[in-house]
Structure 1
Amino acid sequence: MKSAKTLAFVLAFATMPAAFAAGSMGGMDMKPSAASQPAPQPVVAEIRKIDVQAGKVTLKHGPIANLGMGPMTMAFPVKDRASLKNFKEGDGVSATFDNVDGKPTVVEMRHK
């Protein structure tokens, strides 16, 4: 009787990897799909500080849905440093943010 229980136990564990493999081969991709991430949308913001040399702008901004960020004031790198010459502190802008090299970055900024 003891050997029957042992055999059942061994068989149960022997078939577990096959059951898990069959489940994972059924298209269960655990990575979030691109459709689940909101697309970058322009966010209303106010320029608080510009650092042309560092290529950064400090913005008081609303929620940034595609980055999961709430409203706050924060310095961001700017993808196009040269564009900073077109803005001044206090300007109201519409900024689009995205992750660039793993960092939240202003990828586009326009006057409101």
Structure 2
Amino acid sequence: MKHVKTLAIVLALAGPPAAFAAGSMDGMDMKPSAGLKQAPRPVAAEIRKIDMKAGKVTLRHDPIENLGMSAMTMAFPVQDPASLKHFKEGESVSVTFDNVNGKPTVVEMQRK
């Protein structure tokens, strides 16, 4: 009989924390924490200017989630500057950005 009472007490004490933990997940924001790196994904953009000499392209782009950047117009270095010869100003493109040597960089760009 003593074991039954001990078991009942242990179960009674173990139940509420589990219920509390399960209930505390409701409504939680499940976004990755700032410390976790998101994988680069293509972003819609429009080419505003191409600077072949500097190896940069100015883009009006949608938010870049993996770099934590909101939508804006900005010049970016291009990982493969020679690829810029295949594009022209005003084109709609899909661009993948990543941090290269500490700088936001275009790592891939394709026509839409």
TM-score, normalized by the shorter chain, greater than 0.5? yes
Q: Whole-Å Cα distance in 1 between the matches of residues 71 and 97 of structure 2?
A: 13
TM-score (norm 1): 0.69
Cα deviation, 1:54-94, whole Å, max 9, x if unaligned, reads 00000000000000000000000000001000000000000
1:1-112 to 2 correspondences below 5 Å? 32=35, 36-112=36-112
Q: State the SS of the aligned residue for 2:53.
A: coil
User: Which ranges of 4 or more aligned residues in structure 1 deviate by more than 2 Å?
Assistant: none
Alpha-carbon RMSD across the aligned residues, in angstroms, is 0.5
Q: Which runs of 5+ in 2 are unaligned?
A: 1-34
- Supply the AA of the counterpart residue of 2:79: K
Match of 1:13 in 2: none
Shift in Å, 1:37 = 1.5
Shift in Å, 1:38 = 1.1
- Supply the AA of the counterpart residue of 2:106: V
Q: Whole-Å Cα distance in 2 between the matches of residues 89 and 79 of structure 1?
A: 18
Q: Which runs of 5+ in 1 are unaligned?
A: 1-31
Q: State the SS of the aligned residue for 1:66.
A: helix
